[in-house]
Amino acid sequence: MSKEIEWDERFNIGVTSIDKAHRKLFSIVRKLINLSKDESNGQWACAEGIKYLKSHAIEHFADEEAYMRSIDYKGYEIHKRLHDDLRFKTLPALEKDLTESNYSQESMQHFIGICLGWLTAHIIIEDRAIAGLITNKWKQDHIGEDMSLLENALSVTIQELFRLPTEIVSEHYSGENFGRCMIIRLTYLATDHSRVQVYMALEESLVLRAVSAMLNMPLNKMDQLVLAAGRELAIRIVEQVGIYCHMAWQYQLENSHFMTSEQFRQAFYAGAFDYSLLFNTGCGYFAFVVSI
């Protein structure tokens, strides 16, 4: 993983104070990775490392937001909301997972993977837009009633299909790696002949648990049977969400494709999304992304 976080010049946005802060955050993540690999490090050491990362991230957000205001950046409101989403939703949810698991290796990997992925995607997709290097990717920031309706529909559906509680980790998920996943893209044709794409990434542990429960037998490998069952589960999730949101009648499934993690990541760098949510079930993470 360490090779993935070596500084790359494409991360520079041309604002010295921001570039310097980004380098520092990457350095802290690298130290967290090394800390998590050493089993002699206890819970206290990991907790202190995470506290250090949070402190620098929050300080950086304040400085970056001040800079955006100073140049009258038009994307300020959504950009600040992305910062707040990480600060007030993602980090607390990840820390809760860490605490409840006594800083297990899996929960540490979730924390580091999501923070690393968020930082990388945020710089390339969001921060470069501050300097005018690219255009802002968000078509529209759905907040309030629409977002609450979708979050509730997904929570109810997951509880029904997987018998698991859900907790929102992020309302602005950007493709961060949260472990080995089954990733599928579902394309729907609307009644007006437009197309809607739904991307779902379900952690393998979650898929295996669900299919094992269906068959009433333990499964520990993502073979063709599990993938086929997982695909159907993904379709059922979207259908149920459509029913809860009173939209099911408007769309018909046109095709489905499995994706690699690299293809999924590139989709975020290249595309723009209307909804992008990340949840934790306690037995695995899942992402739900929609492009209308």
SS (H, E, C) the chain: CHHHHCCCHHHCCCCHHHHHHHHHHHHHHHHHHHHHHCCCCCHHHHHHHHHHHHHHHHHHHHHHHHHHHHCCCCCHHHHHHHHHHHHHHHHHHHHHHHHHCCCCHHHHHHHHHHHHHHHHHHHHHHHHHHCCCCCCCCCCCCCCHHHHHHHHHHHHHHHHHHCCCCEEEECECCCCCCCCEEEEEEEEEECCCCEEEEEEEEEHHHHHHHHHHHHCCCCCCCCHHHHHHHHHHHHHHHHHHHHHCCCHHHEEEEEEEEECHHHHHHHHHHCCCCEEEEEECCCCEEEEEEEC
pLDDT of residue 46: 84
Domains located in the chain, CATH noted = 2-130 (1.20.120.50), 145-291 (3.40.1550.10)
pLDDT given for residue 2 in this prediction: 41
Query: In the prediction, which pLDDT does 238 show?
Result: 92
**pLDDT value for 1:** 42
The confidence score (pLDDT) of residue 3 equals 44
Task: Tell me what pLDDT residue 181 has.
Answer: 95
Which residue ranges of the chain lie beneath pLDDT 50?
A: 1-4
> Which pLDDT value is given to residue 291?
87
The pTM for the full model equals: 0.82
Q: What is the pLDDT of residue 178?
A: 87
